[in-house]
Amino acid sequence: MDEVNRALDLLCALRFDDGKRWGERAAQFQIRDATTILDPTAPPHVFATRPRGGSKTTDFAGISVAMMLEVLPAGSRVYVIAADLDQGKILLDSVRSFARNTAILHDAFRFTHDRATASRSDSTLQILPCDHEGLWGLRPAFVVVDEIGQWPDTDRSQERFEAVATALPKLPGRMAVITTPSAPGHWAYRLLEYARNDPLWTVHETQGPVPWISQEILESERRRLPSSQFDRLHLGVWTEPEDHLARLEDIHACVDPNLDSRPRPNTEYCIAIDLGLTHDRAVVVVAHGELDPKLGKDAPIRVVVDLLKVWTPEPGKPVQLQEVEDYIAITGRLYPGRVRADFWQAAGMIQRLQRQLGRVQGITPTATTAAQSAANLTILIRSHRLTIPDDEALIGELANVRLRETTTPGAYRIDHQPGQHDDRAIALGIAALDIIEHPPNRGPRIRGLGAFDPSETRSRPARRAGARPFR
């Protein structure tokens, strides 16, 4: 036990940038996890879950330092396997910070972009992404599997974990799996269930909230996040995600029946396009952003939908794209600003509109941009920072579209049930994200002046056919 005590003493002596020692800050669950991992007589594998902000990366950086300097033999190889290299480098940065701030560690390590080498023992800590091709050839003395619940939920990722796990008996080695909980359907949860009942594993499941996050911040996060995400991130609970974009009551709270849609001076608009031809609708959304002048320049941005135009294909009669293009050309002159469209849907249209309007940008949708758009739209609706017209079709679609989790856990995209549509939501998501990324000019809204459709008239407000009466 002497080496365990020395390792714990070293861990407790590590200093942060503010000069405080790790041992001064550590809660009981942090000391428990460290003691289990540093003890070579304990089961060789540890599965530790903590809420977000639970000091996982920092703690396991310190534990790795203590392992390398006090527990493992000279020349040992320590690996941190993360979802990607940047995520893993966060732990390496923590090791570098401890070495810089702790006097007894001065000159104890040499650093490169992806590893730390102990000067005396020549033991190394190396960062590797989970898709690294060389995982099958490792001979680790100690492995930290970082945020496994955030690894892609794919067979390939699971195979890469098995490459690491099956390498441990070669020496033998020890392994710490750390993560914020994800969805129970993720393969990492199946590993957790196995570990709970296997004698070679120790499982420490720390639920939150962690003591250093204030109640005010927690309540803000509770309001901002879907309940499943709040439970995962802050309470440390494995939960299935809700698949609705938003609750109906939140959508209704965003409706302004007296919304004025006429162009206003000194306002920059975004025109977002989602094109369909034979099966999907073509949708154009015109929107702008507003700041509450009472709250100053740091006020949250409100996204206001000015116009929503939909073209619906019929059997044997696809959407006439020239009509859509003409509408955008007229609208773009009345509502000056940025035009956003999927490049692969509308390459020719983008080129022609660019010559007429300028500031027309083709965007190439990716899993990342789809997730950003879905998350942004969800937050705007839940926080009631979206203003939409009293449009039954739009309200119904927003209430029925789903958030589908992508292969990256915690990342969602907008989707629809069979027989339904998500075209309005997609176009609205494109516009809303663009507006949030381009802070607007100030200017109060004008209420009570009706609806306006530039395809019908340029001179005065007009109610579209089928629209509800003014209230």
pLDDT tens digits, 379-414:
999 899 999 999 988 988 888 788 887 777 667 788
Q: What is the DSSP letter of 388?
A: B
The per-residue pLDDT for 449 is: 34
The per-residue pLDDT for 181 is: 95
User: What's the average model confidence in pLDDT over 463-467?
Assistant: 34
**Position 185, amino acid:** G
Q: How far apart are CA 469 and CA 471, in angstroms?
A: 6
Q: How far apart are CA 255 and CA 246, in angstroms?
A: 14
Q: How far apart are CA 34 and CA 71, in angstroms?
A: 13
In the predicted model, is pLDDT for residue 127 greater than 80? Answer: yes
pTM: 0.58
The per-residue pLDDT for 444 is: 41
Whether the CB-CB separation of 339 and 271 falls below 8 Å is answered with yes
pLDDT band of residue 459 (cuts 50, 70, 90) is: very low
**Position 77, amino acid:** R
Q: What percent of the chain has pLDDT over 90?
A: 55
> Which alpha helices (H) appear in 49-84, and where do they start and end?
56-66
The per-residue pLDDT for 364 is: 76
The per-residue pLDDT for 470 is: 25
Question: Residue 31's CB: how many other CB atoms inside 10 A?
Answer: 16
**Position 461, amino acid:** P
Q: What percent of the chain has pLDDT over 70?
A: 90
In the predicted model, is pLDDT for residue 450 greater than 80? Answer: no
Whether the CB-CB separation of 172 and 227 falls below 8 Å is answered with no
Instruction: Check residues 304 and 458 and name the one with the higher pLDDT.
Output: 304
**pLDDT tens digits for 233-272?**
999 999 877 777 887 789 999 999 999 999 988 899 999 9
The set of residues, in sequence order, having a beta carbon less than 8 Å from that of 64 and lying 6+ positions away, is 78, 80, 91, 95, 125, 142, 144
Query: Which of 403, 398, 350, 368 has its CA nearest to residue 242?
Result: 403
**pLDDT tens digits for 332-366?**
889 998 888 876 667 777 778 878 887 777 777 77
Q: Among all chains, which residue has been given the structure tokens 């699971």?
A: 158
- The token pair that represents 421 in the structure block: 């549509």
Three-class secondary structure assignment of 285-344: EEEEEECCCCCCCCCCCEEEEEEEEEECCECCECCCHHHHHHHHHHHHHHCCEEEEEECC
Least confident of 38-47, 55-64, 155-164, 418-427: 418-427
In the predicted model, is pLDDT for residue 23 greater than 90? Answer: yes
Query: Which of 312, 291, 287, 286 has its CA nearest to residue 301?
Result: 291
What is the DSSP secondary-structure string of 192-258? HHHHHT-TTEEEEE--S--TTS-HHHHHHHHHHS-HHHHHHHHH----PPP-BSS-HHHHHHTB-TT
pLDDT band of residue 453 (cuts 50, 70, 90) is: very low
The per-residue pLDDT for 411 is: 75
User: What's the average model confidence in pLDDT over 167-182?
Assistant: 92
pLDDT band of residue 175 (cuts 50, 70, 90) is: very high
In the predicted model, is pLDDT for residue 458 greater than 60? Answer: no
Q: Please provide residue 173's backbone torsions phi and psi, each rounded to the nearest 5 degrees.
A: -120, 175
**pLDDT tens digits for 75-94?**
999 999 998 899 999 999 99
Q: How far apart are CA 126 and CA 17, in angstroms?
A: 23
Q: Please provide residue 9's backbone torsions phi and psi, each rounded to the nearest 5 degrees.
A: -60, -40
Q: How far apart are CA 365 and CA 351, in angstroms?
A: 18
In the predicted model, is pLDDT for residue 460 greater than 90? Answer: no
Q: How far is CA 1 from the centre of its chain?
A: 43
Mean pLDDT, the chain, integer = 86
The per-residue pLDDT for 468 is: 37
In the predicted model, is pLDDT for residue 451 greater than 50? Answer: no
In the predicted model, is pLDDT for residue 452 greater than 50? Answer: no
Q: How would you classify the pairing of strands 124-129 and 412-415?
A: unpaired
In the predicted model, is pLDDT for residue 447 greater than 70? Answer: no
In the predicted model, is pLDDT for residue 465 greater than 80? Answer: no
User: What's the average model confidence in pLDDT over 116-121?
Assistant: 95
Q: How would you classify the pairing of strands 269-274 and 337-342?
A: parallel
**pLDDT tens digits for 283-329?**
999 999 998 666 666 678 899 999 999 998 888 788 888 888 889 88
Q: 430-467 burial, b if ≥16 CB within 10 A, otherwise e?
A: bbbbbbbeeebeeeeeeeeeebbbbeeeeeeeeebeee
- Assign 382 to helix, strand or coil: helix
Q: How far apart are CA 151 and CA 360, in angstroms?
A: 36
The per-residue pLDDT for 77 is: 96
Q: How far apart are CA 426 and CA 171, in angstroms?
A: 53
> Residue 127 is inside which H or E element, if any?
strand 124-129
pLDDT band of residue 417 (cuts 50, 70, 90) is: low
The per-residue pLDDT for 298 is: 67
The per-residue pLDDT for 365 is: 74
The per-residue pLDDT for 152 is: 86
Q: How far apart are CA 19 and CA 278, in angstroms?
A: 65
Query: Which of 383, 387, 375 has its CA nearest to residue 444?
Result: 387
Query: Which of 104, 144, 146 has its CA nearest to residue 14?
Result: 104
Q: How far apart are CA 285 and CA 278, in angstroms?
A: 20
> Whats the size of the chain, residue-wise?
471
- Assign 121 to helix, strand or coil: coil
In the predicted model, is pLDDT for residue 50 greater than 90? Answer: yes
The per-residue pLDDT for 22 is: 97
